[in-house]
Amino acid sequence: MACVTPPTEQRPKTSPDLALQKKLTEQLALIASDKTLRQQLNQAMKFRTRLCQRCHGVDGHSRNGRCPNLAGQNPGYLLQQLQHFHDGRRQDFQMQSIARPISDADKIAVSIYFSSMPPRPASTKKNDQTTQGEALFRIRCAQCHGERGQGLYTYPRLAGQLPEYIRMTLHEFAKLNSRRRTSIMREIASILSEAEINALAAYISSME
Ligand code: HEC
Ligand code: HEC
């Protein structure tokens, strides 16, 4: 028989990804309206994220070009990526071992915690390369990551990210055996030249 679609009652009503994002939205609304709750979360997470801080920095700014800054990153994106490390859609030995034992509720809490930290640009340099990067960004990246590189929901903020991390990640997307094999970025990154990657990384890291 050619029919492969299961009957409606056998299909899950919402995907686990969507259900998790919905819980995050509810939690964000709750925290936005309750200052005490916000303070409690911050206080608790300051201690509970000590492991994360070793690589991602106490203030969400990393000093190692392999580790991304998390400060000011969109909470929906942080949560999605923790989920992807958890189930292997995104591969990284360290982050997978770290994400696997974290409960859904804690993934939501750390995502809110790091997203609430104020971000600052990794570089303040403006030169010919950043001008070239800006032009490229407007044409090829802004429609998804926003004119100012802030992203939205599960579309990541790029503004101010470490240039080494941007370069490494764009190369990673373009690889045949990418560690981020489900990403929409794979095709986009695969047509970028080395000079374009360098220009984009220089401009993105200087965006505020
Ligand atoms: C030993 C160092 C290390 C520790 C500890 C660590 N991370 Fe990471 N994290 C990394 C590296 C390296 C990457 C980039 C992985 C890659 O190349 O895909 C990363 C990526 C991430 C990302 C994806 C961000 C993005 O911009 O795509 C998130 C979210 C994240 N880490 C959250 C956490 C949280 C939460 C903790 C603590 C529970 C933590 N990390 C602890 C090294 C670490
Ligand atoms: C069609 C929409 C779209 C366009 C166009 C796009 N991106 Fe993305 N990008 C995404 C999404 C969605 C993600 C995160 C999801 C994922 O990787 O699975 C992402 C992730 C990234 C990341 C990883 C961020 C991190 O913290 O790990 C980088 C770097 C990036 N994009 C750079 C670029 C650059 C540079 C351009 C322009 C050349 C661009 N993107 C164009 C949608 C887009």
Split at pLDDT 50, 70, 90, the class of 1 is very low
Nearest CA to ligand 2 atom 25: 156
Whether 56 contacts 67, CB under 8 Å = yes
What's the pLDDT at 9?
58
**Is the C-beta atom of 97 inside 6 A of ligand 1?**
no
32, burial (CB in 10 Å: exposed 0-12, middle 13-18, buried 19+): exposed
Which residues lie below 8 Å from residue 193, measured CB to CB, with a gap of 6+? Answer: none
- Nearest-atom number in ligand 1 for the CA of 156 is 26
Domain ranges (residues) in the chain: 16-115, 128-206
Nearest CA to ligand 1 atom 10: 67
Report the separation in Å between the CA atom of 56 and the middle of ligand 1, taken as the mean of its atom positions.
7
Report the separation in Å between the CA atom of 169 and the middle of ligand 2, taken as the mean of its atom positions.
9
Would the CA dihedral through 94, 100, 106, 111 be positive or negative? positive
Report the separation in Å between the CA atom of 46 and the middle of ligand 2, taken as the mean of its atom positions.
29
How far apart are alpha carbons 164 and 50 in whole angstroms? 24
pTM value is 0.95
Q: Other CB atoms closer than 10 Å to residue 145's CB: what's the count?
A: 20
* Residue 91 main-chain phi, psi, to 5 deg: -110, 130
**Is the C-beta atom of 54 inside 6 A of ligand 1?**
yes
The answer, yes or no, to whether residue 6 has pLDDT greater than 90, is no
**Is the C-beta atom of 71 inside 6 A of ligand 1?**
no
Report the separation in Å between the CA atom of 88 and the middle of ligand 2, taken as the mean of its atom positions.
19
What's the pLDDT at 119?
97
Geometric angle at alpha carbon 171, from 59 and 118, rounded to 5°? 15
Pocket perturbation via mutation, ligand 1, pick of 20, 84, 98, 180 by most ligand atoms within 8 A of CB: 98
Whether 142 contacts 61, CB under 8 Å = no
Domain 128-206, classified CATH 1.10.760.10, yes or no: yes
The answer, yes or no, to whether residue 199 has pLDDT greater than 60, is yes
The answer, yes or no, to whether residue 151 has pLDDT greater than 90, is yes
**Is the C-beta atom of 109 inside 6 A of ligand 1?**
no
In sequence order, the β-bridge partners of residue 152 are 155
**Is the C-beta atom of 56 inside 6 A of ligand 1?**
yes
- Measured in residues, the chain has a length of 208
> Given phi > 0 = left and psi -120 to 50 = alpha, else beta, which region is 117?
beta
Split at pLDDT 50, 70, 90, the class of 86 is very high
- 128-206 has the same fold as 16-115: yes
Hey, what CATH topology would domain 16-115 get?
A: Cytochrome Bc1 Complex; Chain D, domain 2 (1.10.760)
